[in-house]
Amino acid sequence: MNQMDLIELQPDETFVLNVGPQHPATHGVLRVKMTMDGEYIYDAETVLGYIHRMHEKMAENRTYAQYMPNMGRLDYLSAMAFNHGYALVVERACGIEVPERAEYIRVLTVELNRISSHLVWLGAFVLDLGGFTPLMYCFDDREYILDLLESITGSRLTYCYFRFGGLYNDIDEPFIEGTRRFVKRMYKELKMYAKLVTGNIILMKRLRGHGIIDQNMCQRYGATGPVARGSGINYDVRRNEPYSVYPELDFDIPVDDGCDSYARYLVRMEEMVQSLRIIEQILAKLPEGPINPAKKPKIIKPPPGDYYAAVETARGNFGIRLVSDGGKNAYRLKLRSPTYSNMHLFDEACRGMLIADALAFMGSLDLVIPEMDR
Amino acid sequence: MELSLLNAFIAVFIAIAFVGANAAYLVWWERKGAGFFQRRPGPTENGPWGLLQPPLDGIKLMTKQLLIPGGVDKAIFMVAPVLAMFPALVSFVTIPFSSSIQAHTIEVGVLLIFAFAALGSMSLLVAGWSSRNKYAMISSIRAVSQTVAYEIPLLITTITVVLIAGSLELSEIAAAQMGGIWNWYIWPFQKSAGFNIFMPISFMIMFICSVAETNRAPFDLGEAESELVAGFHTEYSSMGFGLFFMGEYANIVIGACLITILFLGGWACPFGDLGFFPFTHHVGWFLLKLYLIIFVFVWIRWTFPRTTIYGLLNLSWQYMIPLSLFNLLLTAALIKVFA
């Protein structure tokens, strides 16, 4: 938008509407300062920092093992993938080998967690659009995943399941049986969602053609995950920079050229199906063996250097850069979290939208505030 | 009926009791319905099936502090909730529940109900205006444009029915539909309607408008909680909020009553005049139809996401008003030709 357009758009009278930090649509403590022209947004400014906890600084004061639980507190909906990212970078730094069974179980839990995260997103998104019932269905389904993961990890939300080189706990027969039953159930439930939500005419009218983000904008802001894939960018860390056992598994990366909220919606729905496929494959070929490496340093002290690892969380590319000086604590730990980039699209993309559409658009970005603020 | 002071007093008392009981227990009904649609039990804690929930909610609301935020227009702020409740109460006076149960027969009953319904939307306007809250303000502007858009097709459709029945009196409109389910105005090819094929469309327009008129999902733009927090009643607490709440449910009952009388034959038994059967044309039929319609309202609310304000206005001005106008003219012409 150039200067001339801005002058032409300049309305006679505007008012400032503070959406948040306490507002039902922001799902947390995000604040959006909107300059409104009636019900149309003339300008918006997202304000962060209401839940900043200095996670990056904490890494410099804690040992590597002590910092592991922090990873569950970033993105509380997709904590397992964040565990994975941190375990991955430290393993790369120290050169720890992970047993094959542990790798499979890692991917299994991460994908289960991805489905539960997408289920919360689906419920909250339709809630933003004014439909309350899908939220209940989603939480009902998610409950199965949480129960399953609780039985092996001991926690329901802020998991600390991964260890450097392996896992805290092996999975057992009831877990595998329960996962099989869940996969069967989830296929049926997804069909129901397709009937109840995807095909709903009101939903389509509210999402199609609204919240347009083009590829250029995605690249400028560094958007990743379903937001970028909804704009036709075929980028998924699991495929582009493979890690763990993802190369051995058969799954598709859903991409949609729609660029609108509906495209992002469809991408996430399809991702749930793909995660189910991954889970089915893992259950079929889960190898026997140990879940922790035989040889592992007692105290984690990565050699001095600069290390990087990235994983695909439910919201996109989570990159973690570790600079070590050879000590017991990290010298510097930089977290690159997906929704921090995804959110900053909002300021530019929501200009000229109705407030109702803008909040639906915000819902389609799937924001998790503690992960942005860190 | 001779309108003595005592009669009027009894009528008003019964109307208030009916409205109060309905408003309270429709909340329960709504919550149970929501539970049914959402695979959960709904309220169960207080009393059997949670039946004590509404009175306890009432006590809670009454004992809460009535907060009046600084800087509001106090007089208007206090009047708005009363304005929300009062028109619904008055409208009940004209509703005939059966051929004998009607508080007062008014020859222009339909007109009176619409006049007071318009007053009800006034309460949303002044509530939002006086609250000194931007969300409430946006909400009240939405509510007014919504009401203006939806009262027009509602009125035109009602005029269509009035034209067929030949009376503005609600009890006469219902009486004209006696004698079996096929005499109800919802069906096409009524002889009295000049064999008009579009009567079901009229019914649909009436139904959609009633949902929109009562500010219910998917047209609950006035209190769109994901956008406007709580809309026009954001700043209201205690019984101020309670009155808005009760007013909303009372309006739902009025809307459902109107649909029942105008299209579903009021208290008419669907099987026609069964001489031996004691309950033909009984108030029970009226209540059955009434609560069935309210159940559909609940069903719709817990199924659909919300529309946006322009989608809603487009629906009204582009489709419903032309359709209802067309149907009115068609009905007038058909009646002239056939009836």
Per-residue pLDDT of A75-110, as tens digits, reads: 888 889 898 999 999 988 888 888 888 989 999 999
Name the nearest CA neighbour of A41 among B168, B339, B138, B280.
B138
Residue A292 tokens read as 């922790």
Mean pLDDT score, B9-17: 78
- Nearest-neighbour CA in chain A from B145: distance (Å): 13
Distance CA(B191)–CA(B335), nearest Å, equals 9
Quick one: A69 exposed, middle or buried, by C-beta within 10 A (0-12, 13-18, 19+)? Answer: middle
Counting one residue from chain A and one from chain B, the pairs whose CB atoms sit within 8 A come to 74
Q: What is the mean pLDDT of residues B307-335?
A: 86
Q: Is A354 in Cβ contact with B305 (below 8 Å)?
A: no
Amino acid at position A334, single letter: K
A323 to chain B, any CB pair closer than 8 A? The answer is: no
Q: Give the model's pLDDT for residue A118.
A: 92
Q: A4 pLDDT exceeds 50?
A: no
CA distance A115 to A310: 20
**Is residue B307 within 8 angstroms of chain A, CB to CB?**
yes
- Does the CB of B302 have a partner CB in chain A at under 8 Å? yes
CB atoms closer than 10 angstroms to residue A247:
9
**Closest CA of chain B from A202, distance in Å:** 6
pLDDT at A269 over 70: yes
Q: Which chain A residues in 33-62 lie under 8 Å from chain B, judged by CB atoms?
A: 39
Cβ contact A24–B225 (<8 Å)? yes
The single residue listed with the structure tokens 């009035």 is B162
Q: What pLDDT was estimated at residue A321?
A: 92
Contact between B303 and A129 using a beta-carbon 8 Å cutoff: no
Chain B CB contacts of A202 under 8 Å are 218, 304-307, 311
User: Is the CB of residue A310 less than 8 Å from the CB of residue A317?
Assistant: yes
Which tops the pLDDT comparison, A301 or B194?
A301
Would the CB atoms of B307 and A206 count as touching at under 8 Å?
yes
Query: Smallest Cα–Cα separation from A251: which of A259, A242, A261?
Result: A242
pTM comes to 0.86
Report how far residue B105's alpha carbon sits from residue B86's, in angstroms, rounded to the nearest whole number.
Answer: 19
Q: Please indicate if any CB of chain B lies within 8 Å of the CB of A189.
A: no
Query: What is the arithmetic mean of pLDDT over A55-66?
Result: 89
User: Is a pLDDT exceeding 70 seen at residue B23?
Assistant: yes
pLDDT digits (tens, 9 = 90+) for A141-189: 999 999 999 999 888 888 888 888 888 888 888 999 999 999 999 999 8
